[in-house]
Structure 1
Amino acid sequence: MTGACRRTALRLGLLLGLLSSAALAGGLADATPATAARPARLSLIIDDLGQHPARDRRVLALPGPVALAILPDTRHATSLAEQAHRAGKTVLLHLPMAPANGRFAWQPNLPRAELQSRLQAALLAVPYASGVNNHMGSVMTTQPQAMTELMRELQRRHLFFLDSRTSPRTVAAASAQREQLASLSRDVFLDDDASPEAVAERFQTAIALARRQGSVVLIGHPYDSTLALLERELPRLAALGIEWIDIGQMIAIRGNRAVAAHGRGGIYR
């Protein structure tokens, strides 16, 4: 898929996100299993990029629509975002959130003006970002007011949000849904345990989930074990009956609906 096609798919995803609240008001069923007419689909995001150029290059070299989540406070953030954009990849700002710290981090009790200033600075460090996902954030994503303010700001900037779901108490996706912001939630972390055996097991879990619920949103990190598995297994997805799609297409397909693990009737808990 070309860079132009990716951007078209993302725009469609954003439009459907804006329309999703009307559909949700009428009540939506949870995701349904893949069928012959509805293939199983997978979207892949690699977090924590911008720190190691050799690993970043391996991510860029993956053959399909991988999305790159780039940390703003890394030495290579800006140059990597520019390279990813030229390669037609989707760029995300991987925004640090408490318990993460640093000059870009969103933390509780910071005034609204400071939060907005940090977001603006982070977006300048990661040009061409189409959306934002949280780096860490097990504390910050549980703060309803801050998450509402974030989603309103992203709506104003025409950016989407991906909830990495680093806490079972996250309200980020629910806040995005209430604000009619185009958004997604992570289904599977590929490498909480970065041993090759564990990464392989999690990848198979993701494939099974895609088949069961029709789609899966998968997040990994630039570990050697993760990249080795992806380099080996991603070219085989089509033979497994899995369609690897851009994150914008996944937004369009899910239409801001929560899958069963994250809510009921399409509404995030």
Structure 2
Amino acid sequence: MHYGLIITLLCCLAGVAQGAPISGESTPHKAYLSLIIDDLGQNLPRDRRVLALPGPVTTAIMPDTPHAAEFAREAHRAGKIVILHMPMDPATGPFAWHPELSIEELGKRLDAAFKAVPYASGTNNHMGSRMTAQPEAMAWLMGELQRRHKFFLDSRTSAKTVAAAQAQKIGLASVSRDVFLDDERNEAAITQQLQTAIKLAHKQGSAVMIGHPYPQTLAVLERELPKLKAQGVEWINIKLMISVRSNQAMAGHGKDGKYR
């Protein structure tokens, strides 16, 4: 037998022995999912149910709530990632961003909001349909978050958002929401949205979902999240999701990895 052929056969046998994929067999497809719960800080007993969820839920805390600082400390002690849920137009209140405000005033409100929510390692927008469409303000915000070593999660409350695109331009650690769980506040609809997120994770490799601490949402999550592994989905924290996605836009957010 020719020497080269012997070497080839030995290599093939070694591949089989090590469990290498044979022709026509694909490697297992990874499906990652991250969960963020918004609007926290208003009701401690309710919000503590979020901390009891069986995995790395991200806690998005509003700065103008009565328990913002206390709950942020509890979430941090529980090992959960804390982010600032920043009010943006049409949200109102002392921290809210509006298009007519100067950059100086936006900076003051951002600084005060971060002080109100200790341990915040990033931020996402609360509402913000008008504000996230402002290129100048969003460019300034991404630069400021970069300076503060924070990441950004675009809640994508508007189809006109430019927030993630501005983050991508400067390489800020960022990610965008794929699925809202509870626009309809009933368990059947929430369960369906969760399944939509799971299917999307299998299709594109990952899915980022946002929910709220409604009793219906928490009931569904408490029941369904323990089943994720059996459905081939790995629940990861938002920082790891940013690493997995490498700041690239998914198909629903842009084209060829670029936000539009």
TM-score exceeds 0.5: yes
Q: Counterpart in 2 of 1:216?
A: 207
| CA deviation map 1:86-126 (0-9, x unaligned) | 11100010000001111001111211111001000000000
Shift of 1:215: 0.3
Given that 2:146 and 2:172 are in contact with CA atoms closer than 8 Å, whether structure 1 keeps it comes out as yes
Q: 1:235 aligns with which of 223, 226, 246?
A: 226
Q: Counterpart in 1 of 2:183?
A: 192
Find out whether 1:266 has 2:257 as its counterpart.
Answer: yes
Which segments of 5 or more consecutive residues in structure 1 lack a partner in the other structure? 1-34
CA distance in 1, matches of 2:165, 2:32: 23
Which segments of 5 or more consecutive residues in structure 2 lack a partner in the other structure? 1-25
- What secondary structure sits across from 2:196 in the alignment? helix
CA distance in 1, matches of 2:53, 2:40: 14
Find out whether 1:88 has 2:74 as its counterpart.
Answer: no
Q: Counterpart in 1 of 2:161?
A: 170
CA distance in 2, matches of 1:130, 1:74: 18
Q: Counterpart in 1 of 2:59?
A: 68
CA distance in 2, matches of 1:58, 1:182: 29
Find out whether 1:126 has 2:127 as its counterpart.
Answer: no
Q: 2:142 aligns with which of 151, 166, 185?
A: 151
Q: 1:56 aligns with which of 8, 28, 47?
A: 47
Q: Counterpart in 2 of 1:108?
A: 99
- What secondary structure sits across from 2:60 in the alignment? strand
CA distance in 2, matches of 1:98, 1:217: 23
- What secondary structure sits across from 2:152 in the alignment? strand
Shift of 1:208: 0.6
RCO higher in 1 or 2 (8 Å CA, sep ≥ 6)?
A: 1
Q: Counterpart in 2 of 1:139?
A: 130
Shift of 1:38: 3.8
Q: 1:181 aligns with which of 164, 172, 179?
A: 172
| CA deviation map 1:51-77 (0-9, x unaligned) | 111211100111110000000000000
Shift of 1:196: 1.1
- What TM-score, normalized to structure 2? 0.89
User: In 2 relative to 1, CA 91–62 (structure 1 residues): closer, same or farther, beyond 3 Å?
Assistant: same
CA distance in 2, matches of 1:37, 1:257: 22
- What TM-score, normalized to structure 1? 0.86
- The higher radius of gyration belongs to 2
Give the RMSD, CA atoms, in angstroms.
Answer: 0.8
Given that 2:62 and 2:68 are in contact with CA atoms closer than 8 Å, whether structure 1 keeps it comes out as yes
| CA deviation map 1:6-56 (0-9, x unaligned) | xxxxxxxxxxxxxxxxxxxxxxxxxxxxx7444100000000000111211
CA distance in 1, matches of 2:27, 2:48: 36
- What secondary structure sits across from 1:132 in the alignment? strand
Q: Counterpart in 1 of 2:246?
A: 255
- Give every structure 1 segment of 4 or more consecutive aligned residues whose post-TM-superposition deviation is greater than 4 Å: none
Given that 2:29 and 2:202 are in contact with CA atoms closer than 8 Å, whether structure 1 keeps it comes out as no
User: In 2 relative to 1, CA 241–36 (structure 1 residues): closer, same or farther, beyond 3 Å?
Assistant: farther
Q: Counterpart in 2 of 1:201?
A: 192
**Which amino acid letter does the alignment assign opposite residue 82 of structure 2?**
V
Aligned residues: 235
Shift of 1:231: 0.3
